[in-house]
Amino acid sequence: MMLGRVVGEVWATRKNPRIEGRKALLVAVLGQDGEKRTPTGEVVVAFDSIGARIGHTVAVAWGSGARAVFAAPDNRWTLVDAAVARIVDAVLVEKDGKEVEERED
Amino acid sequence: MMLGRVVGEVWATRKNPRIEGRKALLVAVLGQDGEKRTPTGEVVVAFDSIGARIGHTVAVAWGSGARAVFAAPDNRWTLVDAAVARIVDAVLVEKDGKEVEERED
Amino acid sequence: MMLGRVVGEVWATRKNPRIEGRKALLVAVLGQDGEKRTPTGEVVVAFDSIGARIGHTVAVAWGSGARAVFAAPDNRWTLVDAAVARIVDAVLVEKDGKEVEERED
Amino acid sequence: MMLGRVVGEVWATRKNPRIEGRKALLVAVLGQDGEKRTPTGEVVVAFDSIGARIGHTVAVAWGSGARAVFAAPDNRWTLVDAAVARIVDAVLVEKDGKEVEERED
Amino acid sequence: MMLGRVVGEVWATRKNPRIEGRKALLVAVLGQDGEKRTPTGEVVVAFDSIGARIGHTVAVAWGSGARAVFAAPDNRWTLVDAAVARIVDAVLVEKDGKEVEERED
């Protein structure tokens, strides 16, 4: 999965009908700059499966793994290629040899 | 999906015959620079499924997800690897704690 | 597909035998810098299916889509992961509100 | 596989239930700068299969290869798209014409 | 395939058992800077199938194409996602309108 932050919601009236009724979220990809997680400048449009909203830090599954977020074996031909799989509450990191919990919200 | 803007249409007379009759669009990938969506410099050639034209902001599905845009189970061996899946009308973002609709056209 | 320019041909005597007899082309990936298509610095090694030569602008299919360029259902286990699918004659772009044809050769 | 260093553990209470009970590790991707392996700034969230911990250098499998880390044929629809497949003890490199072992820990 | 140069060999005692007995090579990805092929800074860990060693220029297959390097239909669930498929002897390029052979070793 990639780590990202939800920065928007993408609206479209003209769209391929293979995944109706799912919110398409605009997610800014996060990278690591020293000890900080910061946006890399990349974005991805991911379908939501768990009620993510603007401002949430999320883990986004991609490829056939993303399809599995919604999937049953018979939806093989859905066009899902990126899906929000987790809303991140915190990241446990190590600082000065100790494990520290960094809250996200 | 990736977010992009249609910047051209790719013409080819010598081509593999596995997807005839589809427009191949040149799509500039968009990233996020602070609060702005701007081109990253990358491009992708994506098949059109919904009438997208130069200037449109679009969401492009990739990988096996892209194939599904055109797909029926029997077209497994088509060479589609990127497909325009949505024409984006607007992106809903948050500014100063309020949700704001940014129109695309 | 990605857009690229053929810059070389890769020769190998020691190679996995699963795709004999195909030319392996070295393709410089193109990006978009303002209105120009310029090399991004990335390269990919793609199998040729249509007679592409050094200097040609091409569209390269990747992943399982690439396999489909050569494919019949029984070649599932071929190692093709990138294939030249189109030789680009021209790109139609918009300039000052008018559609303009930019020739490639 | 990509090479990376485990920098954290991602906690989530709201998550898709398709892979319960696995630790989701935050892995900083490593690149090569001359003779040094250094972080590229990218991160990936990968499921652990072998007891990796913060500070470990690891090899991460991705795509359908990642699913295979946990997989049996019937878990095709799991959402795993990146998995820690190896904890790296050392990298053998060449310096001044001699093979040298660089320990990781 | 991507083009790369073998810069090391990755050793691991704790690893997923799904591909025993294969060497895991550290490959620096090559890009194109003008007429030169130079490292991009990215690395990939690829399984060897043909006896590649440190210093070799190689073509690396990825994704399901990589699995095919070792594959028989029944190894679908192996975790291979990148495999050395060719050892490159030379690259044929064009200089001043003439085809020139650049040796690799």
* Cβ-defined contact of B86 to A14 (cutoff 8 Å): yes
How many CA atoms lie less than 13 Å away from B15 in the CB half-sphere? 23
**Which member of D68, D85, D101 has the closest CB to residue E15?**
D85
Taking the whole predicted model, whether its pTM rises above 0.90 is answered as yes
Calpha distance D23→D18 (Å, rounded): 13
Helices (H), D1-104: 63-70
Token digits of residue D24: 């989701």
Sign (positive or negative) of CA dihedral C90, C93, C95, C98:
positive
Distances (CA, A) of A105 to A5, A30, A95, E87: 10, 15, 21, 49
- With 0-12 / 13-18 / 19 or more C-beta atoms within 10 angstroms meaning exposed / middle / buried, residue E22 is middle
CA D63 to chain A, closest CA, distance in angstroms equals 7
pLDDT band at D49 (very low <50, low <70, confident <90, very high): confident
- Counted domains in chain E: 1
Establish if E45 touches chain C: CB-CB under 8 angstroms: no
The larger pLDDT score, comparing residue A25 to residue A73, is at A25
Q: Residue C13 is encoded by which pair of tokens?
A: 């005597």
CB contact, 8 Å: C44 with chain B? Answer: no
Whether chain A has a CB inside 8 Å of the CB on D72: the answer is: no
Distance CA B74, CA E22 (A): 36
Say whether E32 and C42 touch across the interface (CB within 8 A). Answer: yes
Q: Is A97 left (phi over 0), alpha (psi -120 to 50) or beta?
A: left
Contacts of D12 in chain A (CB under 8 A): 59, 86-89
Closest Cα in chain D, distance from residue E86 (Å): 18
Best of C42, C44, C48, C64 to substitute, by most chain B Cβ atoms within 10 angstroms, is: C64
B45 touches chain A (CB under 8 A): no
Instruction: Name the DSSP letter for residue A13.
Output: S
Cβ within 8 Å, pair B16-C49: yes
For E14, counting Cβ atoms within 10 Å of its Cβ (0-12 exposed, 13-18 middle, 19+ buried), the class is: middle
Question: Which range, of D53-57, E48-52, E68-72, E97-101, averages the lowest pLDDT?
Answer: E68-72
Q: Is A27:A7 a contact under the CB 8 Å cutoff? A: yes
Q: What is the C-alpha separation between C65 and C2, in angstroms, rounded?
A: 12
Residue-wise DSSP of A33-58 = ETTEEEEEEEEEEEEESS---TT-EE
Identify the pLDDT of residue E22. 82
Q: What confidence tens digit (pLDDT) does each residue in A58-71 have?
A: 999 998 778 777 76
A67:B62 CB<8 A: no
pLDDT for A5-40, tens place per residue?
999 999 998 888 776 668 999 999 999 998 899 999
C-alpha E64/C-alpha E76 separation (Å) is 9
Residues of A in contact with D9 (CB under 8 A): 91-92
Do the Cβ atoms of E86 and C13 come closer than 8 Å? no
ipTM: 0.91
**B13 interfacial to chain C (CB closer than 8 Å):** yes
As a whole number of angstroms, the distance between CA E6 and CA E83 comes to 12
CA pair distance D7, D53, nearest whole angstrom: 8
Element (H, E) at A69: helix A63-70
Q: How far is A33 from chain B (nearest CA, A)?
A: 16
What is the per-residue pLDDT for D72? 58
Chain C closest-CA separation from residue E4 CA (Å): 10
Cite the DSSP H helix spans in chain D: 63-70
- CATH number assigned to the domain comprising residue E16: 2.40.50.220
Looking at chain B from residue 23 to 42, which residues have their Cβ under 8 Å from any Cβ of chain A? Answer: 30-33, 37, 40
CB of C47 closer than 8 Å to CB of E3: no
Does residue E70 register a pLDDT over 90? no
Mean pLDDT score across all residues of chain B: 89
C-alpha dihedral, E21 to D90 to E69 to C57, nearest 10°: -170
Nearest residue to C70 via CA among E65, E88, A44: E65
Q: Which two tokens stand for residue E61?
A: 């297959």
CB pairs under 8 A between C and E: 116
Report pLDDT for B16: 81
pLDDT of residue D68: 76
Residue-range definition of the domain harbouring residue E96: 2-103
Residues in chain B within 8 Å Cβ distance of A15 = 50, 59, 85-87
